[in-house]
Amino acid sequence: MPSRPSTPPVERRFRGRIMGVGTTSGVRIVVGMWDRSPFGAFTDVFLELPDGTSVLLAPDEIVAAYVSGTYRFDTVSVVDVRARRTARGLELDAGALQVSVDVGTISPLGRLLRIVPKPVARDPRWLAAIDPIARLVAPGSGTAGSAGNGRREYYGVTGAHDVTGVRGTWAGEPLGTLAPLDPPVAFGFASMPRVPQVVDVETTIREPA
């Protein structure tokens, strides 16, 4: 009896920007600002606190369920998440987190990324092939890896700008000033680069049908 053909995985794509920064308080912040996604446009925030506790701040229950099923968190909170571009960079208001970020010029990583055409840079086949090189160029980061619930994830980064300053509070306490994102955050298979940056990215997540 002939075998049934395997069902192809479901593929979901998220296009937008990710910002990763460290602070001298020890709070490390990764913000996803998604212009296009299966859930519409939204912003979510990953935090890693000085004691290692990981926190997800999500704008609604649907996003909270999907993101917490893909990455690892100790705490998940649904809060009003608002991100606004400013002349200096970005202002973020997300529950107990208020942050202002200064964004500078294109980074050395961004200049390197310009070499690769964007359609290639977003292709999961390319991202799987270059993952070992990406981890050498930007320690702690990666372009392909395993995620939660049998999902496989690919980060197609096409641009990058330096973050030059950060101000704000978490739970009423000052964040301090800008610091490297070090050690790497541990929400998933990869972190952001050690040098604080905002990157243009298309994330592809493949999951069992």
Q: Which residue has the higher pLDDT, 194 or 55?
A: 55
Q: How far, in Å, CA of 96 to CA of 77, rounded?
A: 10
| Domain map (residue ranges) of the chain | 10-207
To the nearest whole number, what is the mean pLDDT of the chain?
91
> For 97-101, 168-172, 188-192, which range has the lowest pLDDT when averaged over its residues?
188-192
Residue 3 has pLDDT above 70, yes or no: no
Which whole number is the average pLDDT over 14-29? 96
53 and 69 Cβ atoms separated by less than 8 Å: no
Q: How far, in Å, CA of 60 to CA of 40, rounded?
A: 12
Residue 152 has pLDDT above 80, yes or no: yes
Compute the chain's Rg from CA coordinates.
17
* pLDDT tens figures, 158-175: 999 999 999 999 999 999
Which whole number is the average pLDDT over 170-186? 92
Q: In angstroms, how far is the first alpha carbon of the chain from the final one?
A: 23
List CB contacts of 1: < 8 A, sequence separation 6 or more: none
Residue 90 has pLDDT above 60, yes or no: yes
Q: Which residue has the higher pLDDT, 194 or 77?
A: 77
pTM for this entry: 0.91
What's the token pair of residue 159?
């641009």
